[in-house]
Structure 1
Amino acid sequence: MSHARISEALRALVFEPEPAVELRQVLDRYYAPDYTHRSDGKTLNRDEFAEMVARTRSQITGGTVTVLDELRDGAAYAERHVFRITLADGSTQHREVAVFGTLAEDGRFRHLSETGFSVGPDETR
């Protein structure tokens, strides 16, 4: 089986969600049942992550993700990307994010830790 990619998960979950596909179905496609997510010093279990994604979806009207680096070695996964989003209030955000984690035996994400920072609108590296 091929492995999950964070760029594909972001597109399916937030930037280009299919209206007829439930959030749980998309989560099942990319994230293992025992998935944990660490961001901003807080670790979320899969249910808490699903709640965070639902909140985020309601605040974002569009976005793109550009992968800068992506590596996989066995179950180890690392990726760096830039995303640009437009929020419901019309404001925009541009961030660079580094993601490190592990993949489950079936290729879905088991754990991801992320850290990021704001970048200018024209920065992509």
Structure 2
Amino acid sequence: MMAADIKTALNDLIGGSDPLEDVIARHFAPNYRQRTNGIWDDFAGFKEHISYLRDAVRRIDVTVLDEVTDHERYSSRHVVDIVKTDGSLVKQEVYLFGEQNVDGKFTRVEEVTMMLEGTESDRGLGNAR
């Protein structure tokens, strides 16, 4: 199995039309957990967050600036351009470090986001529910 990468995962999760459960199972292990800007989410919290984003985001474009894999370790620096359903634009740069299991699915991601464009209320988009 090919290892997950963040661009494919985000495009499938937020920009795709496959059922959310199927997409999550494709890229993330059942024991997945994520820390975004210091706040931890378990698997259920992550699913809730992605469900919110699917409703709030019309389009997402991911530009990977740097990406490194080393066995189970994965890291990337990427820019996410988002068009929300209300037409407003959000642009964030993300610094991500994670781990993947032997099946190539993410088991852990720790990320920090930096707002490049958007409103003050958009700063929390990485943790929104």
- What is the Cα deviation at residue 40 of structure 1? 2.1
The RMSD of aligned alpha carbons is 1.3
Write the distance in 2 (CA, Å) between the matches of 1:90 and 1:77. Answer: 32
- Percent of matched pairs sharing the same residue: 34
Query: TM-score, normalised to structure 2's length?
Result: 0.87
Query: TM-score, normalised to structure 1's length?
Result: 0.90
Unpaired runs of 5+ residues, structure 2, are: 119-129
- Where does 1:63-102 land on structure 2 (aligned, <5 Å)? 63-102=60-99
What is residue 126 of structure 2 aligned with on the other side? none
Q: State whether residues 100 and 107 of structure 2, in contact with CA within 8 Å, keep that contact through their aligned partners in structure 1.
A: yes
Runs (4 or more) in structure 1 with deviation over 4 Å come to none
| Matching of residue 117 in structure 1 with residue 114 in structure 2 | yes
Q: Secondary structure at the match of 1:119?
A: strand
Q: Secondary structure at the match of 2:102?
A: coil
Between Structure 1 and Structure 2, which shows a larger proportion of helix residues? 2
Count of matched residue pairs: 118
- What is the Cα deviation at residue 89 of structure 1? 1.5
What is residue 44 of structure 1 aligned with on the other side? 41
